[in-house]
């Protein structure tokens, strides 16, 4: 079958697969004692050795290859000499470019055995993303995606971050449309086959308010509560969806075994 978008989907799948392979690869290295710079370096090399490039590097002045967001960091945590410790939870967010196309995906990792609290938050965040993905098909509205996520996590007492959203993605890293992770059913633009975008809910244990640190990137919860995020890059097909960033190892959420 030839669609006008099949060439684009082929490339998105290749880039998405490299991004998810990078997360698969780094899983074994995420242990107490490792620095977030080490994670950055290993992923940078892995992506390069596999024919890609890390999209965050040099993106709007960003100086690292990926984001490492720990504990109360909501997103855009910058790799540093910071050493991971027992009980930390961390999101690693990879964007690989291959042949001009982008694959953008992130997962949570737990150092040691997570607290019940952290575990509940992480599971709810993963489930919320997957619930939203499962409704994807031509004809639904953008608001249906947000509603799926918001109603699920708020029911559990968690909150949806408002200040960051998913995004269209293809040969451009961040493009139209914005994919809000909250919203009302049957509102917003209609999904059409051929669209490619990310779903990447950031869910807070406490309130949804965030603030940006002085480095200009790191977003943290204002109330210092824990935050979790997962991200997939997806495409809308004739009658459903395709996930471009699915793990070859079937790694979904922690524990990765």
For 81, 87, 134, 176, 246, the CA distances from 170, given in Å and listed in that order, are 32, 36, 21, 10, 17
Q: Which CB atom, from 148 or from 200, has the smaller least distance to Co ion?
A: 200
Smallest distance from Co ion to CB 167, Å = 6
For 33, 90, 126, 147, the CA distances from 153, given in Å and listed in that order, are 32, 19, 10, 10
Q: Which CB atom, from 60 or from 257, has the smaller least distance to ligand MF3?
A: 60
- What would the DSSP string read from start to end of 200-251? --EEESS-S-EEE-TTSS-EEETT---EEE-BEEEEE-SSSEEETT--TT--
Q: Among all residues, whose Cβ is closest to ligand MF3? A: 56
Contact of residue 59 among ligand MF3, Co ion, none (CB under 5-8 Å per partner type): ligand MF3
Q: Which CB atom, from 16 or from 56, has the smaller least distance to ligand MF3?
A: 56
Binds ligand MF3 by CB under 6 A, chosen from 69, 95, 204, 237: 95
Smallest distance from ligand MF3 to CB 76, Å = 4
Binds ligand MF3 by CB under 6 A, chosen from 11, 13, 72, 76: 76
Q: Kindly state whether residue 40 participates in binding ligand MF3, applying the rule CB under 6 A.
A: no
Is omega for the bond preceding 153 within 30 degrees of 0, making it cis? no
Smallest distance from Co ion to CB 170, Å = 12
- Among positions 104-133, residues that touch Co ion (CB under 5 A) are 104
Q: Give the tokens for residue 199.
A: 């779903």
In angstroms, the CA 252 to CA 118 distance is 16
In angstroms, the CA 144 to CA 182 distance is 9
Residue closest to 136 by CA, chosen among 237, 12, 4: 237
Binding mask 187-206 for ligand MF3 (x = CB under 6 A): -----------x-x------
Question: Is the Cβ–Cβ distance between 219 and 210 less than 8 Å?
Answer: yes
Secondary element (H or E) of residue 253: none
Binding mask 58-97 for Co ion (x = CB under 5 A): -----------------------------------x----
- Among positions 205-244, residues that touch ligand MF3 (CB under 6 A) are 217, 231
Secondary element (H or E) of residue 227: strand 227-229
**Strand 53-54 and strand 175-179: pairing?**
unpaired
In angstroms, the CA 190 to CA 208 distance is 27
Binds ligand MF3 by CB under 6 A, chosen from 40, 104, 144, 148: 104
Q: Which CB atom, from 59 or from 256, has the smaller least distance to ligand MF3?
A: 59
Would you tell me which residues interact with ligand MF3 (CB under 6 A)?
56, 59-60, 62, 67, 76, 93, 95, 104, 198, 200, 217, 231
């Amino acid at each position: 079958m030839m669609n006008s978008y099949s060439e684009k989907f082929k490339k998105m799948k290749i880039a998405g697969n490299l991004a998810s392979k990078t997360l698969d690869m780094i899983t074994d290295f995420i242990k107490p004692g490792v620095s977030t710079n080490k994670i950055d370096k290993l992923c940078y090399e892995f992506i390069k050795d596999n024919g890609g490039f890390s999209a965050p590097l040099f993106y709007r002045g960003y100086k690292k290859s990926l984001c490492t967001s720990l504990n109360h960091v909501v997103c855009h945590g910058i790799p540093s000499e910071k050493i991971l410790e027992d009980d930390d939870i961390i999101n690693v967010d990879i964007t690989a470019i291959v042949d001009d196309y982008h694959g953008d995906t992130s997962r949570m990792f737990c150092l040691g055995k997570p607290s019940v609290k952290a575990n509940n938050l992480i599971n709810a965040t993963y489930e919320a993303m997957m619930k939203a993905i499962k409704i994807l098909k031509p004809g639904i509205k953008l608001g249906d995606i947000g509603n799926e996520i918001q109603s699920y996590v708020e029911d559990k007492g968690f909150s949806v971050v408002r200040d960051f959203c998913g995004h269209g993605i293809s040969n451009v890293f961040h493009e139209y449309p914005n994919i809000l992770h909250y919203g009302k059913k049957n509102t917003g633009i209609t999904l059409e086959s051929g669209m490619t975008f990310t779903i990447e809910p950031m869910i807070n244990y406490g309130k949804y308010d965030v603030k940006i640190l002085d480095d200009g990137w790191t977003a943290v919860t204002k109330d210092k509560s824990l935050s979790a995020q997962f991200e997939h890059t997806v495409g809308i097909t004739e009658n459903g969806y395709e996930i471009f960033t699915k793990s070859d190892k079937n790694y979904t959420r922690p524990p990765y075994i």
